[in-house]
Structure 1
Amino acid sequence: MSVDLTVIWAFIIAFGILAYVVMDGFDLGIGILFPQFQPGEGRNRAMNSIAPFWDGNETWLVLGGGGLFAAFPLAYAIILPATYPLIIAMLLGLVFRGVAFEYRWRDEKHRPFWDMAFMGGSLVAAMSQGMVLGALLQGITVVDRAYAGSWFDWFTPYTLLTGVGTVAGYALLGACWLIWRLDGDVQQKARGLAKKSALATAALMGAVSLYNVALRPEYAERWLTAPEVYWLAPVPIATGLVAILLWRAIGRGESSPFWYALGLFLLGMAGLGATIWPNVVPPDVTIWDAAAPHRSQVFMLVGVAITMPLIVGYTAWAYWVFRGKVGKEGYH
C-alpha cells in the first residue's frame, strides 16, 4: 500500500499550527489581559509565569510557516501576497511584544509604556492571526496559479469576526493559564477574566460557525447535507460539552480549565479543517495541487523526523522544570 506523503505533510503543518496556537496563544492572551491586572505584583507574577516559555513557543510558528513554504510552495506563494498587510502587522506585533517583555524589567522609569506595548503587540498579533485565518476561509482569488486579488481583499466583516474570536480565545487561554500557575488575589482575578473570555469565545465560535455555512455553498453542503453531516455532527456536540465542562471548571479547578480551553481550540481547529478539506487555499487549490515534488517531500520528511522529536522533547522538558506555581517573589 502506497503512502500519500502529501496528506502526511498536511497533518504535519496542521500539527505545527495547532502547537503554535496553543503554546503562543496563552502568552499572547496574558498580554491581551495585561491591563486588567494591577501594576506591580499582579503584572509581574503574570509575566513571570510565561517568562521561561514565551520565546520558545514561537518555534512552532517557524515550523508552520517554513513547513508550508517547503511542502506546499504554491499555497505559500498565494497566501502571502493575499495577506501581506496582516503578516507584516503580526510580525511587528510579535517583535514589539518581545522588546517590551525584556525592557519592562530593565527600564523601570518607563514601565507603564512597556506594559502597554506588551499589551498592544499581543493584541495586534492575535487579531492579525485571526484575520489571516478568516481571509483563507472566505476564499482567495487565484488566476493561473497566482494571487489575483487586490491589496485589501482580506478586509471584510468575516475576517473581523474571526480576528475578534481569536483575541477572545487567546484571552481565555491566558486567563486559564494564570488560574493554573498563580494563586491568591491574582488567581481570583484570572477566574473572573476567564468567565468573561469563555462567554465571548463560545459566542464568537458559534457566530463564526453560522457565518461559515452562509459563506460558501460548499461549506453549507458539507455541514448540512448527508452523509457528511453524520460524520461531522460529533464536532459541535463535543464542543458544547467541553464548553460546559470548562465553565464548571473555571470556578473551582486549577489546571483543568486550561486543558478544557485547549480542548475547545482542538475541536475548533478540527471543525475548520473539516470545512476546507482537501483544499489548502479555498475554493480551488487542493493540497495535491500545491504540493512540492515527491522527492522533496521525502527529503524534508527525514529532517522533520529528526528535528520534531527534539523540539517536542525540549519543550516538554522546559514545561516540566518550570511546572510549579509562581510565588509572590516571582519564582516557580
Structure 2
Amino acid sequence: MEVTVIWASIIALGLFMYVALDGFDLGIGMMFPFFPDESERDIMMDSIAPVWDGNETWLVLGGAALFAAFPMVYSVLLSALYLPIVFMLIALIFRGVSFELRGKANRTKNLWNLAFVFGSVGATFCQGVMLGAYLNGVSVTRGAFSGDPFFWVTPFGFFTGLGLIVTYMLQGATYLITRTGGALQERLYTLTWPLTLALIGFIAMLSIWTPLTHAQVRLRWFHSDIHYWLYSIPVLVILIGILMYRSLARRSRFVPFISLGLTLLCYVGLLVNIWPHAIPDTVTLWDAPAPRSSQIFTLVGTATTIPVIMAYTTAGYWVFSGKVQSDRNTNERSHLCFGWPASRAQFYLHCLFTFSSPHLCIADRLPDRMCP
C-alpha cells in the first residue's frame, strides 16, 4: 500500500475517533436545556469528567497528521477556514472553563451552565459549517487558497452544522443511557428516538442535496461501476434505524453502539463522496503529499503514538466505567460513584488515573469513601 494512502487512512481514523469520542461529550453539553434539574446536570457532567479532555487528543492527531503528510492541504484549509476555526476554538475555551468552574460556583452556576451549553453548541456548529464548506469545495490556485474569506457562509454549511448538532446529541444521549439509571435514564431513552429520526432525516436530505449540486458525486453514486455496492449504505441506514427502534423498545444497553454505527455509515458515505480528493474537486491525494522521505519518517513516530493513545483511552474508559450517581445528602457539589474496580488490574489503573495524572485527576469529584 502506498505511504500516501496510509497517511490518508490515519487522518480518516483520527477524525472518526474524534467524532465518536468527543462527539458524545459535546452532545451532553447541548442536552443541558432538556434537563433543568441541577442534580441531573451534575450526573451528566460528571459522567464525562475523566475523559472529556482526552477525547480531543484525536483532533490534535488528525491535524498533526495532515500537517505532516499533506502540508499544502493543511495550509489551504487553515487559510480558507481560519474564521470558523477561531470561532470553534473560542467556543471550546468557554466550554473548558465552564467545565472547571461550574462545580465550584454557587451564585454564578447558571452563568457557567449557559457557557457550557453555548460552548458545546458553538464548537459543534462550527465543525459542521467547516464540513459543509469542505464538501462544497475550496478554491485553490497555485497551491494556495484563492477564494472569498466568507465562502463557508452557505445554506449547505448551515444545514451540515445543524446535522452535526443532532449527531452529537444522539451520541450524548445514548452514552448517558449506559452511565445513568432511574428516571434520568428513562428520559434519555425517550429522547433518543426523536434524535434518531432527526438524524436519519438529515442523512436523507444530504443524500439528495449532494448529488444534485456535485456532478462527480452524482456520477459515482448512480453511474459508476460500484454504484450497486454503494446502495448498501442507505439500506444499512434504514436497517440500523429499525434496530434502534427495537432496541429502545427493549431498553437495550447497546444503543450507543447502534448510534455509533449510524455515525460510521455517514462517515463512510462522505469518504465515498470525496475519494480520491484531499480537497474535493480540486486537489487529489497525489497532488499534495509531503516528500516520501518525510512521510516515512513521521509515519514511524505515528505508528508508535497511535497504539499508546488507544491504550490509555481504553484504560481510561475501562477504569471509569459503570453507573454515575450523585450524593444527594450533601450540600456540596455532587460526588461520583463510578463503581469499585472488579479486578486487581483495574484497581491499579484506578489509582494511576485518579492520583498521578493532573489533567485526568477527579479527586474533588470522588466520594470521601470508596464506592462498594
TM-score w.r.t. structure 2 length?
A: 0.87
Correspondence 1:331 to 2:337: yes
Correspondence 1:263 to 2:269: no
Deviating beyond 4 angstroms after TM superposition, the runs of 4 or more aligned structure 1 residues are none
User: Equivalent residue of 1:165, what SS?
Assistant: helix
Q: Which runs of 5+ in 2 are unaligned?
A: 328-335, 339-372
The CA distance in 1 between the partners of 2:257 and 2:269, in whole Å, is: 18
Correspondence for 2:227 = 229
User: Equivalent residue of 2:278, what SS?
Assistant: strand
Percent identity between the two aligned chains: 44
- 1:261 maps to a residue whose letter is S
Structure 1 residue 15: Cα displacement: 0.2
The CA distance in 2 between the partners of 1:327 and 1:254, in whole Å, is: 20
Q: Deviations over 1:256-284 (max 9, x none)?
A: 11000100111111110011100010112
After TM superposition, list the pairs within 5 Å mapping 1:114-133 onto structure 2.
114-133=112-131
Which structure ranks higher in relative contact order (CA pairs < 8 Å, sequence separation ≥ 6)?
Answer: 1
Which of residues 177, 180, 189 in structure 2 aligns to 1:179? Answer: 177
The CA distance in 2 between the partners of 1:71 and 1:126, in whole Å, is: 26
Correspondence for 1:287 = 285
User: Equivalent residue of 1:140, what SS?
Assistant: coil
The CA distance in 1 between the partners of 2:93 and 2:250, in whole Å, is: 36
Correspondence for 1:241 = 239
Once structures 1 and 2 are overlaid, which stretch shifts more, 196-205 or 224-233?
224-233
- 2:163 maps to a residue whose letter is G
The CA distance in 1 between the partners of 2:302 and 2:311, in whole Å, is: 14
Q: Deviations over 1:208-244 (max 9, x none)?
A: 1111111210010001114231231111111211122
Question: Which of these two proteins has the greater Rg computed from alpha carbons?
Answer: 2
Structure 1 residue 254: Cα displacement: 4.2
User: Equivalent residue of 1:14, what SS?
Assistant: helix
- 1:141 maps to a residue whose letter is S
Correspondence 1:209 to 2:207: yes
Correspondence for 2:31 = 33
The CA distance in 2 between the partners of 1:253 and 1:87, in whole Å, is: 39
The CA distance in 1 between the partners of 2:26 and 2:248, in whole Å, is: 20
Correspondence for 1:300 = 298
TM-score w.r.t. structure 1 length?
A: 0.97
After TM superposition, list the pairs within 5 Å mapping 1:309-324 onto structure 2.
309-324=307-322
Please report the RMSD computed on the Cα atoms of aligned residues, expressed in angstroms: 1.1
Structure 1 residue 252: Cα displacement: 3.0
Once structures 1 and 2 are overlaid, which stretch shifts more, 17-26 or 106-115?
106-115
Q: Deviations over 1:149-189 (max 9, x none)?
A: 11110111111111100000000000111111101111112
User: Equivalent residue of 1:109, what SS?
Assistant: coil
- 2:337 maps to a residue whose letter is Y
User: Equivalent residue of 1:290, what SS?
Assistant: coil
User: Equivalent residue of 2:48, what SS?
Assistant: coil
Correspondence 1:78 to 2:84: no
What is the total number of aligned residue pairs between the two structures? Answer: 330
